[in-house]
A and B are shown apart, each in its own frame.
Chain A
Amino acid sequence: MTFRWSRWSPQLALVPAGLVTLVAFIGAILWTVYLSLTRSRRLPEYEIDWSEWGRQYERLFKDSAWQISLQNLIVLGLGSALAIVFGFILAAMIDREKRGESIFRTVFLYPLAISLIVTGAAWRWMFNPELGVEHFIHSIGLTWVNASWLARPETAMYGVILASVWQSAGFYMALMLAGLKSINSEIWSAARLDGVGLFRLYTEIIIPMMKFTFVTCAILLSLGVIKAYDVIVAMTNGGPGQSTYVPAYFTIQALSAKGNLGFASAAAVVMLLITAVIFLPLVLLTAWQQRRSGART
């Protein structure tokens, strides 16, 4: 449809958004990519020495804190995946057992409403080495239990994972619940008539039917893990030592605390590449789904 007399207003209305996209997103990304090739330290320098354009990346991958960050990214990703598993179990139970659905939903989802800084503050206090949960566990006689995870480099990431799972399990539960509700209810009666056991029903029928929900959850989780920053600041500030560094935290530290612009830019570019690797399947998935729903209607 073409409306000649008002042809220009819609185009003009898109100018602000277009400018924002062009300048604040595309332009800014190119700017950072460019800076990552320079020797910029506290202030930007715009000369590229092409004989060693990759020196910031070289330094980055030799940096022990960056190596820890990448490791922690994987640990955090795998650990946080528990939130999807947990979310699915909760959703399946709530979906089958209708009693108390709204109460359980409300309780499981409330952590999502509060800031990760608050979440971090609460869990930081719970993990307090002198007065926290450990003190309580020791006081009831289980003195061999170590529960002050954040105080030790080996276990600090597990504390972060626990807080992340607590915060996000409800979100995955909500997504899974929506997925389960879209499943035809006759499947349950059909399975029941065929005498299919509950475990087999879920592993062989329900979960394969929900594979798109699972893939979506996995991608959202991965994107969330790359962005993890607030929870690290609030719980550990990267410590003890550098044991809870993640790429998002590393990059901002390199920029604000170390004032090393070229180096931070290189780290940011690697973050973008990791995002792209995760993001690509999402694009394909969405395209595929659109084609499928297009074929159906």
Chain B
Amino acid sequence: MTHLSIAQKALGAEVAVRSAPYFPRKKKAITGRSIAVIVFLSICALFFCVPLYVVITTSFKTMEQIREGAMFALPNVWTLEAWDHAWNSACSGTRCEGLKVGFWNSVYILIPSLILSIGLSIITGYALALWNVKWAGPFLFVLFICAFVPFQIIMFPLISMTAAMKVYGSIWGVAIIHAILAMPVLTLIFRNYYKDIPQEIMSAAVMDSGSFWKIFFEIILPMSGNILIVVLILQITSIWNDYLIGVTFGGLGGQPMTVNLANLITISTGTVRYNDNMAAALLTAIPPLVIYFFVGKLFVQGITAGAIKG
């Protein structure tokens, strides 16, 4: 407050009298406090970037340089050797075929998981929001509770059920579990989006002899672009980043990339190749990071919607 000039105070008073919004932060001159704030924020930003910097530089170093112990030094020789190892020959358990196995597993898990989880919850959300269904209120309440249930309490029964359905230990098992666990949150997100659609639109659509499915595909789905892209990004990142479901339901054949990475970094036998580990970590992080840097706003929207509405 000390840097505030009388002129600004007067201006503030005048603006306040006119009852127009007054934004004291839109000042032209940089005050001392502004500089202090920016410096503090920059230091924090630096702290946030340190792990990324270390991971990136380590992944390009040779093991000889890493053994010297200068963690923050740039690579003497920039080499892609570790990236090649991580992708082609890093060991996960007893298999040493690199992270490419997990990468493709993750891709194959992603596609059916997305279709199943979004398909199931968009229809449910649509029916709950726009149609007069019985028990809609209690059902929504139960879904709200289910969104918070810890995975551990339903883990063993789900293993038994997927085993009985003969999908345990496969990509399909993982995809089905993703769809089940995402259903409550996604349904609530879709329902909250659709409930704002004006009644008149629905009434007109029904008058127009629209059936449940016809209205969905011809009117509602074309209106859902915004929410679909937000949910899509939310689901892509959370499925890609998932570890627990992958390790529990993937068996040996359907392990996603995160499981391979975890196996690699927790390995305790032999000499640990830290550059391989960091290259593997980066390989796993690149797909969600690319999404984040290109459509960050939508990512944040999805994350907050998923957290609050769920």
* A positions within 8 Å CB-CB of B: 1-3, 6, 9-11, 13-14, 16-18, 20-21, 23-29, 31-32, 35, 44, 90, 93-94, 96-100, 103-126, 128, 130-133, 135-136, 139, 166, 170-171, 174-175, 178, 185-186, 188-190, 192-193, 195, 197-198, 216, 220, 223, 226-227, 229-230, 233-234, 237, 248, 251-252, 255-256, 261, 264-265, 267-269, 271-272, 275, 279, 282-283
In Å, the complex CA distance between A124 and B203 comes to 58
Instruction: Take A125-B58, A223-B148, A233-B266 as given contacts and tell me if A117 and B284 are in contact as well, using a CB distance cutoff of 8 Å.
Output: yes
A116 touches B243 (CB 8 A): yes
The answer to whether the Cβ of B6 comes within 8 Å of any Cβ in the partner chain is no
Over the window 46-77 of chain B, the binary record of Cβ atoms lying under 8 Å from chain A Cβ atoms (1 yes, 0 no) is 01111110110010000000110111100000
A122 touches B55 (CB 8 A): yes
Over the window 151-190 of chain B, the binary record of Cβ atoms lying under 8 Å from chain A Cβ atoms (1 yes, 0 no) is 1111111101100000000000000000010011001000
A24 touches B54 (CB 8 A): no
B152 touches A251 (CB 8 A): yes
* B positions within 8 Å CB-CB of A: 1, 4, 9, 12-13, 15-16, 21-26, 34, 37-38, 40-41, 44-45, 47-52, 54-55, 58, 66-67, 69-72, 120-121, 123-124, 126-128, 131-134, 139, 142-146, 148-158, 160-161, 180, 183-184, 187, 199, 202-203, 206, 211-213, 237, 240-244, 248, 258, 261-262, 265-266, 274, 277-278, 280-282, 284-285, 288-289, 291-293, 296, 299-300, 303-304, 307-308
In Å, the complex CA distance between A132 and B278 comes to 13
Main secondary structure of the interface of A (DSSP, over half): helix
In Å, the complex CA distance between A166 and B50 comes to 11
B161 touches A23 (CB 8 A): yes
Across chains A and B, which 9 residue pairs bring their CB atoms closest together, nearest first? A9-B212, A28-B157, A10-B131, A115-B241, A113-B292, A28-B154, A17-B124, A121-B281, A268-B152
Chain B residues near A283 (CB-CB < 8 A): 144
Q: Which one of B187, B212, B278 contacts A6 once the chains associate, using CB atoms below 8 Å?
A: B212
* Cβ distance A92 to chain B, nearest Cβ, rounded Å: 9
Q: Which one of B44, B148, B152, B243 contacts A267 once the chains associate, using CB atoms below 8 Å?
A: B152
A234 touches B266 (CB 8 A): yes
Chain B residues near A229 (CB-CB < 8 A): 243-244
In Å, the complex CA distance between A195 and B12 comes to 12
Main secondary structure of the interface of B (DSSP, over half): helix
A-B contact number at CB 8 A:
300
**Residue in A closest to B211 when the chains form the complex, CB atoms:** A6
In Å, the complex CA distance between A264 and B151 comes to 13
A192 touches B1 (CB 8 A): yes
A21 touches B142 (CB 8 A): yes
**Residue in B closest to A189 when the chains form the complex, CB atoms:** B22
B142 touches A118 (CB 8 A): no
* Cβ distance A255 to chain B, nearest Cβ, rounded Å: 6
In Å, the complex CA distance between A174 and B302 comes to 12
Chain A residues near B70 (CB-CB < 8 A): 136, 139
Q: Jot down 24 A-B pairs with beta carbons below 8 A, ordered by A.
A: A2-B132, A17-B124, A20-B183, A21-B143, A24-B158, A29-B149, A32-B155, A93-B41, A104-B41, A113-B237, A115-B288, A116-B241, A118-B258, A118-B282, A120-B265, A125-B54, A125-B58, A166-B47, A195-B1, A226-B150, A230-B244, A234-B243, A234-B265, A267-B152
Chain A residues near B121 (CB-CB < 8 A): 17
Chain B residues near A20 (CB-CB < 8 A): 120, 180, 183
- 7 more CB-based (< 8 A) A-B contacts, given A24-B154, A188-B23: A11-B134, A20-B180, A25-B142, A32-B153, A107-B48, A109-B296, A189-B16
